[in-house]
Amino acid sequence: MMGKNKILLLVACLGFSTVQAQDYTTSESSTYRNDSLFKKTVVKSKPMSYSIDSWANQTSNTITSGFMNSLAQGGFISQDELNPIMEAHTGPKGYLGGTVGFDVKWATPEREGKLWSLCGSFGSEAIVDTRWTTDLFELVWFGNAASTGELNILSGSGARAGVFNRFNLGGYNHQTRQRLELSFVQRLAGAEWSLPYGYFNVSEHADSLDTYVQSEARLHIGSGIDDLTPAYGVALSGTVPIKPQDFPLEFEVNFKDVGLLFEPEGSRVYWLQDGLTTTGLPVFGDSLTWESIIDGDITAESAVDSILQTGNSVSRMVLLPAKLGVSFKYHHSETISANASIYTGGWMPQHLITGGLEYIQSENITLGLNYKQGGWGDERFEFWARINVAGERSLLISVEEPLGLMFRDESAASTTCRGIRIRLSRGNG
């Protein structure tokens, strides 16, 4: 009997200990399940920064929209249209140029412990550049009646055009916002015409003529118009911001396509040398007669030197249309900033100088007004607005000389410039 009681007591003790063990295990399990070590922490990755930029602009220091419309429509060009343009030739040369293109930039997100990340860009741009001397414009449209006895200078006139494709790859510093890229450039098509040396002179009494011209044209095509001869080059592009500590002034150095283009052989080249000297020309009325020059009047003595050569070019290295600039920004207050910049290159005949103000109207809207001078044109204004949109993105819309965009309208007949730029960006892309 005593043995049975001992057995029952032993079983009861084991059962109690089992219950205690079960309670302990359950309690500890519950504690571990609620511990933060077992919770899954979701880290939100930073998005890639980028910008998509497109633009089109045309500027001139002399040629007006009304004059260009008259040329496009054809017909008689009146003195009323020519006189304002001739008066605008206050300097030695007139210019007309423009660009149109797009550019996509990107940079990978910042990683922990890494200052640099991969960045790059790609895009395409067409550039047109034309320039002429004031004397050449006067000879073409007014003749030489007002310049007899004077030497008309033609040297330095020319025109060129090119279509360039770019692919860049490099690094972006998230701390300094410095961006350095190696650029691979393709010139898909291009053409150049230059008049490196030339003059035209008619004596005061219009009884002698002396003129000489050297001119060269280069067309980057092969045997036919559809046979392109693209050229390839390599360059450096980038941005170097400088922001002094404890001073509300920012600097930024920009450079684009600083490098060389390697042209293959096979482009069509035309070279002309033409000289004409005459004395004792007969004068009928108030002008010379070309018939007398061609027919060789017996009272006139003339000497003609004319050479025309054509052929294919050899391979050569030329400079890319590099563009260099520096910009400044001064933060006057939390809402108002002043900015200024100067750019050179990109086939522009003059430095492009910009100065303006920036006003933060609200958290989502920033407005700006810039004054521009140089490049291919003279004074003009640029209005822009930046709007913050969803997803930490911003949309920039810029209009240069707004009235010039209505170039078909009579109200814009006297404008010489026009341009528009649209940019969608996120982060520092």
**What is the pLDDT, as a whole number, of residue 320?**
96
Q: What is the pLDDT of residues 296-355, one digit of tens each?
A: 544 456 666 778 888 888 999 999 999 999 999 999 999 999 999 999 999 999 999 999
User: What residues contact residue 5 under an 8 Å CB cut-off, 6+ apart?
Assistant: none
For residue 416, the model assigns a pLDDT of: 93
Sign of the four-CA dihedral 7, 12, 17, 22:
positive
What is the pLDDT at residue 8?
43
Question: Alpha-carbon distance 307 to 215, whole Å?
Answer: 11
What interhelical angle do 79-88 and 65-73 show, nearest 10?
140
pLDDT tens digits for range 268-279: 899 988 887 777
- In this prediction, the residues of the chain whose per-residue pLDDT falls under 50 are 1-2, 4-33, 35-36, 38, 42-43, 283-288, 290, 297-299
Please, which residues have CB within 8 angstroms of residue 370's CB and are 6 or more apart in sequence? 339, 354, 355, 356, 381, 382, 383, 384
Is the distance from CB of 262 to CB of 313 less than 8 angstroms? no
DSSP structure class, residue 44: P
One-character DSSP codes across 340-380: EEEEEETT-SS-EEEEEEEEE-SSSEEEEEEEEEETTEEEE
Beta-carbon contacts of residue 262 (< 8 Å; ≥ 6 apart) = 231, 232, 233, 315, 317
Give the pLDDT score at 345: 96
Distance (Å, whole) CA 137 – CA 134: 5
Handedness of CA 66, 71, 76, 81 (dihedral sign): positive
Return the closest-CA partner of residue 273 out of 216, 213, 192, 196: 213
- Position 243 scores a pLDDT of 85
Contact indicator for 338, 357 with CB cutoff of 8 Å: yes
Q: Which pLDDT does position 1 carry in this prediction?
A: 46
The predicted structure's pLDDT at residue 280? 61
Is 415 within 8 Å of 63 (Cβ atoms)?
A: no
Query: Quick one: pLDDT at residue 12?
Result: 46
Structure tokens at 404: 């010039």
| Alpha-carbon torsion (80, 85, 87, 92), positive or negative | negative
Structure confidence at residue 294 (pLDDT): 52
179, amino acid identity: R
CA distances (Å), origin 194, targets 30, 139, 220: 87, 18, 15
- Which pLDDT score is estimated for 227? 76
The pLDDT score that the predictor gives to residue 254 is 96
pLDDT at residue number 45: 62
The span from the CA of 427 to the CA of 62, in Å, is: 40
